[in-house]
A and B are shown apart, each in its own frame.
Chain A
Amino acid sequence: MDPSGPPQAHLPARTVLTSADIDRVLTRIAYEILEANKGGTDLVLMGIPRRGYPLARRLAAKIAAADPTVNAEAITGQLDVTMFRDDLAHQPTRPPHPTQLPAGGIDGKVVVLVDDVLYSGRTIRAALDALIDLGRPRAVRLAVLVDRGHRELPIRADHVGKNLPTAAVEKVRVRLAETDSPALDEVVIEGAA
């Protein structure tokens, strides 16, 4: 039941974002979010497990550094979308993750969904459904570290770290110090010709 599938033969891998790149990209997205929201009021960042949550925490810390009225802890949450997926019957069983709402809830807030890779758009579709069961945000925006294309649904990101044209056979791997071992930050594209 390894979600990454059977071990594959040696794939050529190429690093597309290094640790320093990821940090710069997140700083830019944090400022973009503040600019689009005209400040830090009513802002909530909801990370999608597993890697969206640490990204949301990092973004919140950067937003708090830029706008002292914002408390990073109080605007960050985690949104589990497992039970809302449309492929539950066709994938190996996924264990659900906890959903944590920020103390102020999401009613009337501007919720920024945060995820690592935007691909088919189905995870975000599930996230929108999950969010609506938790309350009624004033607006929902989407921030992703990497947009690799191949959308299957009419969904687009408001804030993109890097647009990465890929072939469907390639794999985009995001590693973050918080969730992966060895603990380092990088985005790698595997299986590229």
Chain B
Amino acid sequence: MKHLLSTLDLSYQDAISILDTAEAMAAVGEREVKKLPALRGRTVVNLFFEDSTRTRISFEAAAKRLSADVINFSAKGSSVSKGESLKDTAQTLAAIGADAVVIRHGASGAPARLANSGWIDAAVLNAGDGTHEHPTQALLDAFTMRRHWAQLHGVPSSGTDLAGMHVAIVGDILHSRVARSDLWLLKTLGADVTLVAPPTLLPFGVESWPCKVSYSLDETLETKPDAVMMLRVQAERMHSAFFPTVREYSRRYGFDDVRLDRLDALGMDNTILLHPGPMNRGLEISSRAADSPRSTVLAQVSNGVSVRMAALYLLLSGEGSSPRTPQEVSAQ
């Protein structure tokens, strides 16, 4: 693995290896000294062309816990607003000596362009590109689900997958890179996925995806999913009317108090509720649901740091990850 660009081309072994490594990284957060020297002297650049709170903070915390140096870059207030191209920005980073670039970009495929163009010889981690993929979010969701699934079955989470788990992903599938990354990764790990959305918020060609599709959240809840993933309604990407009113969307596709109580009524004691954040409280998820014991929203955030530490460690360590000195080459 040289880059982490998508979960579509992530193999089962690589996915399990990232999740298992993340399990070991999670223990570091509980120690007195929350720092490992593994990436000492390496430079990680956070290149954010789109706004982000938790992904950027999470990557920054992950890199710092591994003792890497972190450079934060956001398009606002940089030379990008003067018209600098991605290529020139990349070459600037290469000249500074970046070992890894974490990139979020509004254009789908920008991280792949950066990784394959030869502009920069650094590991590229996709932190969300357009409506394409957001692999580390999918990995932290899978990590959270795997811990729950393993605990439910009384087995250690390391080494296990999600075989037999039923996951519903609900909401704005059309604009969601998280839904896509989640779907590919959950399929790889053996889970069954149902996408729930109004027809206007489903992408073209969704029937060819390896999942079930439903237009009714209530009918899907009847099938007793083990995890329900609520997606944010991405108002900033919606340039036309995808649903008549916010109230109607919230009533039909929001996880409100009525549906929260229905989980109890249906005897689904072990169903968890995920949300990638940021939440629109009262729109796709009610405050009571978001703060209920079923909600894993905060666990997802802390698991995000562990998963990103694992990804950075696996991409930046290993043979050939740093240039050898002449002495080391001649010693071979």
Chain A residue at minimal CB-CB distance from B321: A89
- B31 interface residue (CB < 8 Å to A): yes
A134 pairs with B32, CB closer than 8 A: yes
Taking A83-B38, A90-B324, A133-B35 as contacts, is the C-beta distance between A96 and B317 under 8 angstroms? Answer: no
A80 partner, pick from B24, B158, B321, B328, beta carbons under 8 A: B24
Chain A residue at minimal CB-CB distance from B317: A88
B23 partner, pick from A90, A93, A98, beta carbons under 8 A: A98
In the bound complex, how far is the Cα of B38 from the Cα of A89, in angstroms? 9
B32 partner, pick from A88, A89, A96, A135, beta carbons under 8 A: A135
Scan B1-19; emit 1 where CB is below 8 A from any A CB, else 0.
0000000000000000100
Taking A95-B20, A98-B24 as contacts, is the C-beta distance between A84 and B37 under 8 angstroms? Answer: yes
Count residues of chain A with CB under 8 A from any CB of chain B. Answer: 20
Which residues on the B side are within 8 Å of A96 (C-beta)?
A: 21, 24-25, 313
Question: Which A residues, 133 to 150, have Cβ-Cβ distances below 8 Å to chain B?
Answer: 133-135
> Min CB distance, B42 to chain A, in Å?
9
- B314 interface residue (CB < 8 Å to A): yes
In the bound complex, how far is the Cα of B32 from the Cα of A91, in angstroms? 29
- B318 interface residue (CB < 8 Å to A): yes
- B81 interface residue (CB < 8 Å to A): no
Chain A residue at minimal CB-CB distance from B66: A83
- A182 interface residue (CB < 8 Å to B): no
B33 pairs with A133, CB closer than 8 A: yes
Chain A residue at minimal CB-CB distance from B36: A83
A88 pairs with B38, CB closer than 8 A: yes
Chain A residue at minimal CB-CB distance from B322: A89
- A129 interface residue (CB < 8 Å to B): yes
B319 pairs with A90, CB closer than 8 A: yes
Which residues on the A side are within 8 Å of B33 (C-beta)?
A: 133-134
Which residues on the A side are within 8 Å of B32 (C-beta)?
A: 133-135
Which residues on the A side are within 8 Å of B324 (C-beta)?
A: 90
- A179 interface residue (CB < 8 Å to B): no
Chain B residue at minimal CB-CB distance from A84: B37
> Min CB distance, A48 to chain B, in Å?
15
In the bound complex, how far is the Cα of B316 from the Cα of A115, in angstroms? 27
In the bound complex, how far is the Cα of B21 from the Cα of A83, in angstroms? 11
A92 partner, pick from B17, B36, B319, beta carbons under 8 A: B319
- A99 interface residue (CB < 8 Å to B): yes
In the bound complex, how far is the Cα of B313 from the Cα of A62, in angstroms? 38
> Min CB distance, A102 to chain B, in Å?
15
Chain B residue at minimal CB-CB distance from A89: B322
> Min CB distance, B4 to chain A, in Å?
14
In the bound complex, how far is the Cα of B31 from the Cα of A80, in angstroms? 13
Which residues on the B side are within 8 Å of A82 (C-beta)?
A: 38
- B27 interface residue (CB < 8 Å to A): yes
Which residues on the B side are within 8 Å of A129 (C-beta)?
A: 37
- A14 interface residue (CB < 8 Å to B): no
In the bound complex, how far is the Cα of B314 from the Cα of A98, in angstroms? 16
- A24 interface residue (CB < 8 Å to B): no
In the bound complex, how far is the Cα of B323 from the Cα of A130, in angstroms? 26
In the bound complex, how far is the Cα of B313 from the Cα of A93, in angstroms? 9
- A97 interface residue (CB < 8 Å to B): yes
In the bound complex, how far is the Cα of B313 from the Cα of A96, in angstroms? 10
Which residues on the A side are within 8 Å of B322 (C-beta)?
A: 89-90
Shortest beta-carbon contacts, A-B, top 7: A93-B318, A83-B36, A96-B24, A133-B33, A83-B38, A89-B322, A88-B317
12 contacts across the A-B interface (CB closer than 8 A)? A83-B66, A89-B318, A90-B324, A91-B318, A92-B318, A96-B21, A97-B24, A98-B27, A99-B27, A133-B36, A134-B32, A134-B33
List B residues at the A interface (Cβ < 8 Å). Answer: 17, 20-21, 23-25, 27, 31-33, 35-38, 66, 158, 313-314, 317-319, 321-322, 324, 328
Given pairs A88-B38, A98-B158, 19 additional interface contacts (CB within 8 A): A80-B24, A83-B66, A88-B317, A89-B317, A89-B322, A90-B322, A92-B319, A93-B313, A93-B318, A95-B20, A96-B25, A96-B313, A97-B24, A98-B23, A98-B24, A133-B31, A133-B32, A133-B33, A135-B32
